[in-house]
Amino acid sequence: MTRRRWIADQVNNNRAILTGAHAGHLTRVLRAHVGQEFDVVAEGILRRGKIIDIQEARVEFALGDEIPAANLPSFTIVLSIFKFDRMEWAIEKCTELGVSRIIPAVAQRTESHLAAAAVKRTERWRRISQQAAEQSRRISQPEIEAPIKIKDVVARQATLRILLDETESAVTLKSVLESYPAGEEVTLAFGPEGGWTQAELDLFHEAGWVSASLGSTILRAETAAIAATAIVLSEIVEA
């Protein structure tokens, strides 16, 4: 039987601890008990863990042997902020698929009230990604940065920087990826509801970003993010 996996909130030598609601889910929902074993990610290393102490909002593990685990590729997605319920769904699913970093961004067509509220949502997005990482048995959750402006996104460096652009008709995402070796660092940027403005497209292109398309249909922002993430990971993960 596959053991449930947890990402430790605190690590001290050969002890790992879950705290708060994280611990509460293990104790109240899963009814864990002292002596039960789980897989525990401690400072990026997957190890066997046995529960040695349970309190209301704290579960402590004794850490055992390291367990071999696959490393995920370096893959960043930039999500121009959109309606929070759908953005949370995109964050959850892209975490399950294997992104390593998620950058929320304020684009010109991002609704002003969403942009204003986004900073306070960052911790919630991190909790969602942690839960999704544990559920999908990753050894780490993606880094979720605080929201930034598009001009700061444009300046980000990566081996391959791709702009998903619904006005692009000749170049597909898959064709761009096929021209680069597997294992390269990739950053993929998604526009907000309503798409990129021409000024933003010009800014990206001047900085050397490559435009690509997901096809002839117009996808919702969360659908585009999930579909493109699956395509990228299928191409860049080395066999």
Contact 7, 141 (CB under 8 A): yes
Pairing of strands 58-66, 15-19: antiparallel
Please, what CATH class does the domain formed by 75-236 belong to? alpha beta
Cα 54 to Cα 14, 31, 61, 111, 171: the distances in Å are: 17, 11, 9, 44, 55
Residue 28 has what DSSP assignment?
A: I
CATH number among 3.30.530.20, 2.40.240.20, 3.90.1300.10, 2.60.15.10, domain 5-66: 2.40.240.20
Q: Which of 127-136, 180-189, 206-215 has the lowest mean pLDDT?
A: 180-189
Q: Would strands 15-19 and 10-12 be described as parallel, antiparallel, or unpaired?
A: antiparallel
Contact between 171 and 133 under an 8 Å Cβ cutoff? The reply is no
- Cα–Cα nearest to 16, from 68, 58, 70: 58
Q: With a cut of 50, say whether residue 239 has pLDDT above it.
A: no
Q: How far apart are CA 125 and CA 132, in angstroms?
A: 11
- Matching fold, domains 5-66 and 75-236: no
Query: In this predicted model, what pLDDT tens digit does every residue of 99-117 receive, in sequence order?
Result: 999 999 999 999 999 999 9
pLDDT tens-digit readout, 113-156: 999 999 999 999 999 999 999 888 888 889 999 999 999 999 98
pLDDT tier at 69 (50, 70, 90 boundaries)?
Answer: confident
Distance from C-alpha of 17 to C-alpha of 220, rounded to nearest angstrom: 39
pLDDT tens per residue across span 14-64: 999 998 888 888 888 788 889 999 888 888 888 999 999 998 889 999 999
Give the number of residues written for the chain.
Answer: 239
| Domain chopping of the chain, boundaries | 5-66, 75-236
- Please give the Cα distance from 103 to 20 (Å, whole number): 26
Distance separating alpha carbons of residues 165 and 94, to the nearest angstrom = 19
Q: What is the pLDDT of residue 2?
A: 63
